[in-house]
Structure 1
Amino acid sequence: MSSTFSMTLLQADSSTDCNITSQTNSPLTKDGEQESQSQNLCDMWRDIQGAHNWNGLLDPMDPILKAEVLRYGNLAKVCYDAFDGESSSIHYGQCKYTKTSLFDKMGMSECGYRATKYIYANTNVLASLFGENAKDKAVWLGFIAVCESEKEIRRLGRRDIVVAWRGTQTTQEWIQDLRDFLIPARLSYKCERTSKEHEAATAIANDGVRIESGFLSCYTSTFSHEDSKGKSFNKSARGLLISEIRRLLNVYKNEIVNLSITFTGHSLGAALATLSAYDVKKLLNANCYNIIPVIVFSFASPRVGNVSFAKNVEDIGLKVLRLVNKGDVVPKVPGVFVNEKMGYLSRWLSWLPWAYFHVGVELCLGKNSSFLLHPNCVAYLHNLDVYLRLLDGYNEDNN
């Protein structure tokens, strides 16, 4: 991965680095507009969630879609704002707030969601060199929340489960970002209904899918975890996510027809959102839950995997809307030399350990630099608040 990308991830993922204050907590400002759009969202939520790959909704951008993407962007922003990144703090690397108080503390008490699970990950590789957490200790990397407000469920047209991931904040995560070579994604899926491994999807590695090493390590590396009874055992971010998704599916098994799972994240968080959404969608399909739509709204996502990964994302029905700031370097890596823009040549070279392909549908922001206060600042162009501000003014920007 390029040094520019590395420094961008280290310096720009934090929403405080460029002293930017988000102005997008209430994306629709005209009187009555939000209420009117809320009445329509319940009728077209499948289109908003990408059932038809957002055809006809992006240029110009549908105001209901814009409001929804902004809403998920603000949920991704919670992962930054609630993270304790002060290295001198005894709670360094953890969330500042409990699950029950998270949205209240973030000023989002009316969002209608309740955090049900925190996601922790072992992101450390050389911790002792930097005085950070020991290798088997975990940092807070995001949360799982479920919509429980009846009013919000009516507005959305379904019950929504959201998974939000944080971007790079620690030195160890920066090192993980540097590990930009592709490796087989060895993930298996147990078919609950037959109590055996699903034959068609026991190992992703069998169909040639490869994932960036650092992203996969963050997602699957184990750490020592202690449950509420004080019992210690090994867990991973993947293990925490999958077990909670299984639990929630069981709780809401009578609402499967009107249930969605939405992933969101920025930068490293966007990469993890894409990877974990792919993982969950494969799991659902293996257990005959393919009726449940799984969607990713990603901000500033780097490339995650190879051409087989991109093809698999499409084949399994995972919907991904990638928001990209035109001047941001992060979405251009890894895969600077071999990527999806090279056409046939890229497929011929797809065996290389640095041959990456983007996934899903891209929405390019920032085409008009008049919306940017610092159009030449690499860190500024990558900042999540800038993305949300550009999205808020997207149609005006295009014109």
Structure 2
Amino acid sequence: MILHTSKCFADFLFLKPFFMPTQAPPNALLYASFIEEAYSVYENNPNDINPSLAAYGDFLNGYTLMYNLQMKDFFIDEKPYAYYGFIARNIATNEVIVAIRGTADATEWWDDFHFSLIPFYQGWGKVEEGFYDIYKTLKLVVPSTGESVMLLSDTITNDSWLQGTPAATLTITGHSLGASLATLYAASWAYNSPTPLQNTAIYTYASPKVGDSSFADQYNHFVTTGYRIYNKPDIVPHFPLNPLYEAVGTGYEVDSWNKAARSIPCFHALTTYMYMLGANASILGKCALS
């Protein structure tokens, strides 16, 4: 669990904000729904690491399911690969969407990281070691055959994964741990581009800080369409507390304090974020304000 004592929460309450308010990101609720679908597919059958198109129900109507995403969710413990999201293509617009969920228990992964900064060899500056190690395990798997195609990081320099049709636009989206991985993926794309990214957007929800100031500065320069969305009482976006870490970009704040249940898991839940972005209150479930 993310908190071991009440002291961490007290420290969080007295933090100076690291954000500036901005206009609500366009389509933020839409892109959150892709991550929520990945959570739903996983929760319906946690043992299915390569779900079929049928597992997504009607959600992907109008989309082609290109790949499932698998990764080692606890790299330090060398656990087996698990399902962590998907890549889909919009049939009408040719937009490719990469959606990465967090863990089933929104904060269970926190204890596995010691927040050591190491060089980011696929980008700039230094990044959190645990996030980077996990990022390097993410791979694309063909839903129908289970064939492992390539690592997600290899898609940046090898376009065969696009199946002969280049993406008109690329949207990368992730929540919690998935947001950290989405940030590293976007940074890897930007690092391999001689100019700021074009036709690429990243939406993150409840992302912790990923790297140091050098990483953040270069990311902010080259990733020109990035939206870091965070809930004011959610403590995860403020971690690690180490001052060497810096959040990327300008964040967009929502505040569920008087709108949803007041608990650490509910502050962090993607469904709370979605409600604050305009989803119906029924999405809150156990996080509804009683």
Both structures adopt the same fold (TM-score exceeding 0.5): yes
- C-alpha distance in 2, partners of 1:363/1:92? 35
Letter in 1 for 2:230: V
Would the aligned equivalents of 2:171 and 2:200 in 1 still touch at CA under 8 Å?
yes
2:237 counterpart of 1:331: yes
What residue number does 1:385 align with? 271
2:170 counterpart of 1:238: no
Distance 1:229 1:146, change over 3 A: closer
Structure 1: segments with no counterpart, 5+ residues:
6-56, 128-134, 154-158, 188-203, 339-354, 394-399
Distance 1:230 1:314, change over 3 A: closer
SS in 2 for 1:380: helix
2:107 counterpart of 1:218: no
What residue number does 2:104 align with? 169
What residue number does 1:156 align with? none
Distance 1:171 1:314, change over 3 A: closer
Distance 1:162 1:332, change over 3 A: same
Give, in angstroms, the shift of residue 371 of structure 1. Answer: 1.6
Would the aligned equivalents of 1:306 and 1:357 in 2 still touch at CA under 8 Å?
yes
Give, in angstroms, the shift of residue 221 of structure 1. Answer: 3.9
Would the aligned equivalents of 1:163 and 1:262 in 2 still touch at CA under 8 Å?
yes
What residue number does 1:369 align with? 257
What residue number does 1:357 align with? 246
Give, in angstroms, the shift of residue 173 of structure 1. Answer: 7.2
Which has more helix, going by share of residues? 1
Distance 1:183 1:364, change over 3 A: same
Letter in 1 for 2:69: I
2:252 counterpart of 1:297: no
What residue number does 1:279 align with? 188
Give, in angstroms, the shift of residue 326 of structure 1. Answer: 0.7
Distance 1:76 1:234, change over 3 A: closer
2:213 counterpart of 1:307: yes
Would the aligned equivalents of 1:121 and 1:237 in 2 still touch at CA under 8 Å?
no
- C-alpha distance in 1, partners of 2:70/2:48? 10
Aligned ranges 1:228-267 → 2 under 5 Å: 236-239=151-154, 241-242=155-156, 246-247=159-160, 251-253=164-166, 259-267=168-176
What percent of counterpart residues are identical?
Answer: 24
Deviations 1:244-266 (A, max 9, x none): x712557234xx7xx21111111
Deviations 1:262-294 (A, max 9, x none): 1111100111111111112333x15x8x66322
Letter in 2 for 1:264: T
Would the aligned equivalents of 1:305 and 1:358 in 2 still touch at CA under 8 Å?
yes
- C-alpha distance in 2, partners of 1:175/1:84? 20
Deviations 1:37-69 (A, max 9, x none): xxxxxxxxxxxxxxxxxxxx954x48xx2xx11
Aligned residue among 27, 34, 41 for 1:82: 41
Would the aligned equivalents of 2:234 and 2:264 in 1 still touch at CA under 8 Å?
yes
- C-alpha distance in 1, partners of 2:29/2:116? 32
Give, in angstroms, the shift of residue 80 of structure 1. Answer: 0.8
- C-alpha distance in 2, partners of 1:271/1:312? 16
> Between Structure 1 and Structure 2, how many residues are aligned?
264
Would the aligned equivalents of 1:324 and 1:362 in 2 still touch at CA under 8 Å?
yes
What residue number does 1:69 align with? 28
Would the aligned equivalents of 1:85 and 1:93 in 2 still touch at CA under 8 Å?
no
Deviations 1:79-133 (A, max 9, x none): 11111587xxxx62625x31x33432xx3143x2222011211334454xxxxxx
2:101 counterpart of 1:101: no
Distance 1:4 1:298, change over 3 A: farther
Distance 1:260 1:234, change over 3 A: closer
- C-alpha distance in 2, partners of 1:80/1:230? 20
Give, in angstroms, the shift of residue 295 of structure 1. Answer: 1.3
2:72 counterpart of 1:184: no
Would the aligned equivalents of 1:145 and 1:163 in 2 still touch at CA under 8 Å?
yes
Distance 1:115 1:210, change over 3 A: same
- C-alpha distance in 2, partners of 1:267/1:291? 23
Aligned residue among 67, 73, 82 for 1:123: 73
Distance 1:267 1:4, change over 3 A: farther
Distance 1:143 1:228, change over 3 A: closer
Letter in 1 for 2:173: T
- C-alpha distance in 1, partners of 2:111/2:133? 8
